Every structure is written in C-alpha cells, then in structure tokens.
Structure 1
Amino acid sequence: MRRYGILGTLCLALPFGANATVAQGAEELALVKLIFAQLQVISIEKNREYCGYIGRDAEGKVAFSKARRGRKGTCAPDDPDELSLVTASYHTHGAYSPNYVNELPSVEDMEGDEAEGIDGWVATPGGRLWYVDTEEMVVHQICGLGCLPSDPQFIEGDTGLIEQSYYYDELVQKIEEAGG
C-alpha cells in the first residue's frame, strides 16, 4: 500500500484483470473506510463537507483523488487527474446539525452521481456509511451508527427511523418527512 498524505492518493495493490469486479468491491470498501476514517474527523471539526472520486489509476490499481474541502451543505470535487477511470464519488456530510437531514444521502447526492454515470459513498455525522447505486437508484446503508468516526454532538433518532436502504422515491419521501 502506498500513501501520499492524509488527503492525497492511496493505492491498493489490486491488479486490474481477473476477478477484478469481485475484488474491486472489497478493495473499494476497504479504501472508502480508510478515507473516511481520516476525513470524518476533519469534516466534523471544520463543519464542512469533503469530497473526491474513487476509481483506478494508470496502473489499474484502486485509488482515490485528493479530497476537496466544500461548504456546510455541499461539495464539488476537483477533476480527478490522478485517476484513469472514475467509478464512484465520495463525500462527508460535515458536523451534526438539526437543520439538515444529514444522516442520509441527499436526493442531490444521488442525482449528481447519476448525472456523472458513477456510484457514490457518503459518510454521515452519526458515523454511518452509505453506498449510492445509481444503476438501481437505491442507497444502501453499509454500516450503521459509529462504524465511522462520529460527531459527539450527534443526536440519535433526530431523523426518525433510518432504514437499511431507500429507492429514489422512498428517499425523496423520507427527506421530506424529516423536514429536509
């Protein structure tokens, strides 16, 4: 494993080729957890979203682009020059706030990934990890509260019951019901 700084590029030694689809899922998930283990702390402390892309570098290894600092409720990643192929976005949701429905990926998160033709990963203030599948237009909770670093100010249950997955229309409805 090569590491280029806290918000730089991390490459896992997974050659592109045989069984890459199966391995990519496990390797990508491991990479995402490493990224968010570092970014969540900064994102919560600064109360800003951080975002970037995941994909493959020129050598075919799973890699990620440098994280970009966004605002309280939005983040637009820089072009991923270090990636030859982009497969997903990643971003944090910043610190907990009762003014945002930030324990779920937003409708805009899902629509943005779909428009780019990629999937996405989202970390929430409560420490949840979500996967945005734009082919099926569904978000899946990969792991629940506290699986990633979380905001000590987070109030569990503020958004109501959080399901394990939401199709697009269900997500729209849940966010509307939660006041988003």
Structure 2
Amino acid sequence: MISRLFWAMAAAFLGFSDAGAQSAREVAAIKQVFAKVQPKSFAANREYCGYIGWSRDGTLAVSRMKRGRTDQCRPPRARHLHIIASWHTHAAYDPEALSEVPSVTDILADADEGIDGYLATPGGRLWYIDTTDMEVTQLCGLGCLPRDPAFLQGSEGPILQSYSYRDLLRRENEITAQN
C-alpha cells in the first residue's frame, strides 16, 4: 500500500502519467526492447515478457525479461519500477495460431493487473493494449519490428488498425468456428 502511494506521488510530482496514453519516448523504448527480443522469441518459439515503467531516479526503464511458453508468459516481479505497461512477444509464426492480433487473454491479463500493454507479433507488428478503453491499436504495421522469416502474410485474413474487446471476442470465435 505504501509502495503504491509512493509511486503515485512520485509520478505526479515528476509529471509522469500512466493514464492510458503512451508517449513517443515509451514507444521508442519498447521498439528497442522488441528489436532485441523478437529474434530470440522466434528462435526459441517462446513468448518473452516483462514490464516498462519509471525507475526511482525518474528514468524510463524495462524490467528483466522472462522466457515463457509457446502461448503464454508471466512477467517477473519489478518492484524497482512504477509499472506503466507490460510487454510480450507472440513467439514464432505458427499457421494454426492467432498471433497477429492481441488475444482476448492478452487484454484481460493486463486489465487484471490494472496496466496497459505492448505486443510484438511474428509479422513484426507493434500493438498497444489500452485497458481503460478495452481496445487494442496497431502502432506500426507489418515489418516495423523484426519479422519471423517463416511468417506468411495474410494467413489470418485482414488485420484491422484497431479492435475493441468485443471485436477481439468476435474475431476469435469466427476464426475458431472456421477451423
């Protein structure tokens, strides 16, 4: 409780916000993280994850990363950060997986933690998961981040610029019903 109060006061004093709007600085930092992590994620066919937040000295920082499983990853604790968002990859390309758009599970996991999130896909897309509005937005498209060499463009059909939570549910149900 004291820790949350400390971080909230420090963030307000230093002018930081975690109210759902990502800054250009935050996006640039997360792109650097994904540029390094995506190749590892493809090679191992595992999700990698962590957090991004403000350190005690007021710098934007990322937590230690963790290697997860093929379809999930739980970030390591990051008590040294005022966490503003999670980040994770979607492992290597798998034609049987829905990996080019954040999943319902992705948005719910971040919402449960009370934070937003970033996702990198095998096609090299960068998504922002906004849990205040319960929607996901593609910050940059196909190939803006490292791309899995095995990735087949179009295998999941058209990919929109953004989806609401309901859109994600509908999309997952429609694609599952087709298979």
**CA apart distance, 1:178:** 2.2
The amino acid that maps onto 2:158 is: L
CA distance in structure 1 between the partners assigned to 2:57 and 2:152 by the alignment: 43
| 3-state secondary structure, aligned to 1:36 | helix
1:72-91 maps to which residues of 2 (within 5 A)?
A: 72-83=70-81, 85-91=82-88
**CA apart distance, 1:179:** 2.4
RMSD of Structure 2 on Structure 1 (CA): 1.8
CA distance in structure 1 between the partners assigned to 2:110 and 2:134 by the alignment: 10
Corresponding residue for residue 38 of structure 1: 36
Q: Mark the CA change 1:45 to 1:80 in structure 2 (over 3 Å): closer, same or farther.
A: same
CA distance in structure 2 between the partners assigned to 1:24 and 1:123 by the alignment: 16
Corresponding residue for residue 133 of structure 2: 136
**CA apart distance, 1:82:** 2.9
Greater helix proportion: 2
CA deviation map 1:77-134 (0-9, x unaligned):
1111331x11100000010001210001111110010010000000000000000000
CA distance in structure 2 between the partners assigned to 1:140 and 1:17 by the alignment: 27
CA distance in structure 2 between the partners assigned to 1:97 and 1:74 by the alignment: 14
Q: TM-score normalised to the size of structure 1?
A: 0.86
Could you tell me which of 104, 108, 128 is aligned with 2:105? Answer: 108
Corresponding residue for residue 63 of structure 1: 61
Say if 1:52 and 1:78, in contact at 8 Å, map to a contact too. yes
The amino acid that maps onto 2:55 is: D
CA deviation map 1:37-88 (0-9, x unaligned):
00001001110000001111111211110110000000001111331x1110
Say if 1:141 and 1:165, in contact at 8 Å, map to a contact too. yes
The amino acid that maps onto 1:163 is: L
Runs of 4+ in 1 over 3 A off after TM superposition: 20-24
| 3-state secondary structure, aligned to 1:120 | strand
1:164 lines up with 2:161 in the alignment:
yes
Gaps of 5+ in 1: 1-15
Identity %: 50
CA deviation map 1:126-167 (0-9, x unaligned):
000000000000000000000000011111111110000000
Corresponding residue for residue 9 of structure 2: none
Gaps of 5+ in 2: 1-12
